[in-house]
A and B are shown apart, each in its own frame.
Chain A
Amino acid sequence: MEGRPREERELVLRAQGGDPRAFEELVRPHEEVAFRVAYLITRNAAEAEDAAQEGLVKAWRALGRFRAGEPMRPWLLRIVANEARNRRRSSGRRDRLALAAAEVSGEAAPSPEAAAVEADERRRLLDALEELPEQARLALACRYLLELSEDETASALGVRRGTVKSRSARALEKLREAYGPRA
C-alpha cells in the first residue's frame, strides 16, 4: 500500500485543499485494516464500524495537520484506534472477541482426522490469545494477525515502538505458557 508515495502525496495535497474524493481515494487502501483494528479493540463489529466511520471523519477534519510525504496508514490507524478505545470505554461493553479461525482447505489436511486436529489446535491458539491481558492480546493481534509493522502497531496502540517490542515479546512468552506444547 505504501508503494506509491508520490501518488499518495499528491492525494494528500488535493485532499488538504478540500477535495473529499481525493481523501476517499487516499484512505480506501487502509479502510479494511482500520476496521479490523477497531474490531480488535471494541470486540464488536457494529461498534468497530462506527469507530472506523467516525475516525475517518476526524481524520478528514484533522488533515491540515498531516504532513504530506509521511505514511498515511499509521496516522489513520492512530485516529481510528483512538476512536475505538473511546467508544469501548464509554459503552462499557466487555464482549469476548469471537475471533474465529477461517476454514482451511487443501493440502494442509491430509485426512479428515488430521484436519480436525489442526482446526482444534487453531481454536486452542486463538482461545489462548483471547485469554491474554488486553494490552498483550492487542499487541500480538496487531503484529501477527493483521501483520502490522512495529510502527503501525505503535500508532494503533498509542505507545512507542520500543513498548511494542517489549510488550510483544512478553506477550509471546505468556502465550507460549498458556498454549503449551502440542498435545
Chain B
Amino acid sequence: MDLERELRGLAIAWPKTPDLRPELGPRVRSRRPLLAAIAVALVVVALAAAFAVPQSRGAILRFLHLGGVTVEIVDTLPSAQERPLAAGLGPVVTAADARRRLGATPLVPPLDPPPPLHVADGVVSAVFADRGRPVLLSELGGDDPVIVKKLLQGGQIRFVRVGGAPGYWITGTGHVVTLPPSPSPRLAGNVLLWQTGGLTLRLEGRGLTLARALELAGSFRLLRDTP
C-alpha cells in the first residue's frame, strides 16, 4: 500500500546509537527453592569498590536490581527518619490472601503460630522477634522495582550466595530504604537481600549479623494455609 511504502521510505535521522557497554555483574544462574541446606558459598565481591567510579548522569552513581528491589549507589542520601520496622506495613491478611497478592507462596519463619502477614503494594511483610530483637521480612514477586534502597557511595554491599541463590548483604548507617506504601525513605538496618523460587526476599534487622541472617534465611518455610 502506498502509505506503508511512504513510511518505509522515510529516512529518519535517528540519534546516534551510544556505545552500550553495560557492566555485567554476577549473573543470576537459577532460582532454586531455598529449602535446601544453606551451607553458603560466600562469595565476596568488592562491589562497593566496583561501584566507586561514577559514570551515569546525576546523583545516582550506579544501581543494581535484584528482582523487585533496586539498590542505588548515590552521592547524597535523601533525608530519612528512623522509624520502627513494623510501621506502615499495610493491613494484616490471611495466608491465602498473601499468596494471591504475591502470586506465589510466601516463605515464613518456622514459628508457631507464624507471624502475622501484612500486605501493601504487592509486598508481603512480617515482623518477628529474633533473639529478642525485631526483624522485618519483606517478600516480592515479579521484577518490577517496588522497593528502592539508596546507599552512599563507598557503602558496604557484598555479593553473597544464599543457599546457592544470588544475594547482597548491605550494612552500615549510610543507607535508606523506601518501602511501600510509605513514599518517604527511612534509615535502614543491616539487610540481606536475595532471590529464590521467583521471589525476592529482604531481611532487615538492626543488630543482624550476616551469619544470623543466612541462618534465618535457611530456616524459612513455605507458608501453609491457616484455617
Contact = CB atoms under 8 A, between A and B. Distances in A.
Nearest to B67: A61
Given A46-B57, A147-B8, A86 B20 contact: no
Contacts of B144: 86
Given A57-B23, A144-B4, A62 B28 contact: yes
B18 interface: yes
B10 A145 contact: yes
Contact of A31 (B1, B17, B56): B17
A172 B25 CA distance: 43
Interface in B50-84: 56-57, 63-65
Nearest to B7: A144
A93 interface: no
Interface in B1-18: 1, 3-4, 6-8, 10-15, 17-18
B30 interface: yes
Interface residues of A, number: 45
Interface in A29-58: 31-32, 34-36, 39, 45-46, 48-50, 52-54, 56-58
B155 to A, nearest CB: 20
B20 A31 contact: yes
A126 interface: yes
A54 B18 CA distance: 13
Contacts of A176: 3
A132 B17 CA distance: 25
Given A126-B10, A172-B4, A61 B18 contact: no
A53 B12 contact: no
B17 A35 contact: yes
Interface residues of B, number: 32
Contacts of A175: 3
Nearest to A63: B27
B4 A57 contact: no
A122 interface: yes
Contacts of A114: none
Contacts of A104: 11
Interface stretch (A3-11, A95-103, A150-158): A95-103
A45 B24 contact: no
A2 B18 CA distance: 22
30 contacts: A18-B29, A20-B24, A23-B24, A31-B17, A36-B14, A39-B15, A48-B15, A49-B18, A49-B20, A53-B20, A56-B20, A57-B23, A57-B24, A57-B64, A58-B65, A61-B27, A99-B12, A100-B12, A100-B13, A101-B11, A101-B13, A102-B11, A102-B12, A125-B7, A144-B8, A144-B10, A145-B12, A172-B3, A175-B3, A176-B3
Interface of B: 1, 3-4, 6-8, 10-15, 17-18, 20-25, 27-30, 56-57, 63-65, 143-145
Given A144-B4, A145-B12, 12 more contacts: A35-B20, A53-B20, A57-B64, A61-B28, A64-B30, A99-B13, A100-B12, A102-B11, A125-B6, A145-B10, A147-B8, A172-B4
